[in-house]
Structure 1
């Protein structure tokens, strides 16, 4: 009971709560996580008969080979369909509630499903701006709702029909520009290919500079609560955000809570990082809070 009241106080009374979320908050919506026994890395290996880990399907190298690029496209098409059919979970609704009460400083999400950013008041911006005002939701790895041209950088909405066959779609902006150049007698500059605007392993994050500015501003604003939920914290950049945000929260006499089915990361960098570790399903938390509210 005492531990539950600690959680209740942290979530209900923090005035500048930061949430760092991973795939675990969307699993109950029908969207698989990445690293569990039923996650994407395992299923992709079987579905595409890969000789390597399914994680390699999310590496930037998929675009160096035509066949792997087509496999990636098929996978993205299926994942986008799942995301379109999914509905927000109880935990998504809890984030919405905290935001509505104006107590959410920032949601840092690793998810590309867009469920969190679709919540009223939690909309993000693509690309992230370098100057305030900044959106409540920061997509650390981009989102499946937007496509970008590999050549000219044009962005637009994801159209499933373009990613449903073996042909990687051409950029219409490049095509129009090229047609104009040809009409005026200039040589072609080539046509770029469209791809989902998500950040793959071993590639540059186009929002990296903006994310750095937002996290720096949030650290200076003295956050008083941190909830790390549904993530295994395998990505170095996210680990750094959690570590630095934890230090800032503790400096403000706030609390840091870990909620996930797996153990938190170990190592000297995370010594004294988490005040409370809850191993379990984050979807149970909203119900527990409601009971304590009564």
Structure 2
């Protein structure tokens, strides 16, 4: 049995599937990842700052204008559309087989594909709020302004509801993540290097039957996978979708 056939068989047999995904899930939608040779973190930051530094809470507070210049140019991709990975996961949810998606991504493509059971560990660019009055704003509201987006109510800075370096993950999301992982019978890990903690450590809560790891480069979790696929995720899921 080849790997595509094995993956398809396990997907058909499973009833409580959890997908744990990272930036590689969206690369075939035209969104660059972070840690590959062509990723965001391979670039030199602006004015001598590293990308990690520019995406930190302290940088947001001290260099707000430069933060938004970097954020708008590198992290917002309003034209991106779901790819076959997102579409297969939406199909699995429609079939009643998908317990949850746990994503480190902030792009909202899973919801755009039709998924509703999505736990966003690092937040979303589609949710924004005023740092002063906490009024909520959409991504379109932010894109309608240039420079530092300001709240029309009190002129406070509108910031994205994403987890910056130096900030903690949402406790409710973490608790729900642990709960669904402990209930899953099949764990799909896709497009993540599993090097970002505490997110990467969460997969250890899985107690189910099979772990499938889809990632182009090696990870520290490879030895725990029952099935390891290094082919491009989009092409793999396209073939899987034809067989489901």
Output the TM-score relative to the length of structure 2: 0.89
Give 1:144's match in structure 2, choosing from 125, 129, 146. 125
Q: Partner of 1:256 in structure 2?
A: 211
The superposition leaves residues 197-245 of structure 1 with CA deviations (integer Å, 9 ceiling, x where unpaired) of 111111133xx2211331243245x311000000111221222221112
Q: SS in structure 1 opposite 2:177?
A: helix
Which whole-Å CA distance do the structure 1 matches of 2:195 and 2:130 have between them?
28
Q: What residue in structure 2 maps to residue 78 of structure 1?
A: 73
The CA deviation string for residues 147-184 of structure 1, in whole angstroms up to 9 with x for no partner, is: 1222333322122022x22xx233334x2xxxxxxxxx
Distance, in Å, in 2 between the alignment partners of 1:147 and 1:290 is 34
Report what 2:164 is aligned to: 200
- 1:210 matched to 2:172? The reply is yes
Query: 1:132 maps to which residue?
Result: none
Q: Which runs of 5+ in 1 are unaligned?
A: 124-135, 176-190
Any conservation in 1 of the 2:54–2:60 contact (CA below 8 Å)? Answer: no
For normalisation by structure 1, the TM-score amounts to 0.75
2: distance between equivalents of 1:38 and 1:271?
Answer: 22
Specify every segment of 5 or more residues in structure 2 that has no aligned partner in the other structure, as ranges: none
Instruction: Give, in whole Å, the separation in 1 of the partners of 2:53 and 2:75.
Output: 19
**Equivalent position of 2:149 in the other structure:** 169
- Partners of 2:105 and 2:3 lie apart in 1 by 28
1:153 to 94, 119, 134: 134
Answer whether contact 1:141 1:198 (CA < 8 A) is retained. Answer: yes
Name the residue aligned to 2:35: 35
Measured after TM superposition, the shift of residue 6 of structure 1 is: 2.4
Q: Distance in 1 between matches of 2:238 and 2:222?
A: 30
Measured on the aligned residues, the alpha-carbon RMSD in Å equals 2.2
Query: 2:18 is paired with a residue of what secondary structure?
Result: strand
2:233 corresponds to which residue?
A: 282
Do 1:17 and 1:225's aligned partners in 2 also have CA atoms closer than 8 Å? yes
Name the SS for the 1:78 alignment partner: helix
Which structure is higher in RCO with an 8 Å CA cutoff and minimum separation 6? Answer: 2
Give the deviation of 1:286 after TM superposition.
2.1
Aligned to 2:86: 92
Report how far residue 140 of structure 1 moved: 0.8
Residues 110, 139 of structure 1: 8 Å contact kept: yes
CA deviation vs aligned residue, 1:12-50 (integer Å, no higher than 9, x gap): 22100000011111111111111112211223x26x2x4
Asked whether the 8 Å contact 2:126–2:138 carries over to 1, the reply is: yes
Answer yes or no: is the 8 Å Cα contact 2:216–2:232 preserved in 1. yes
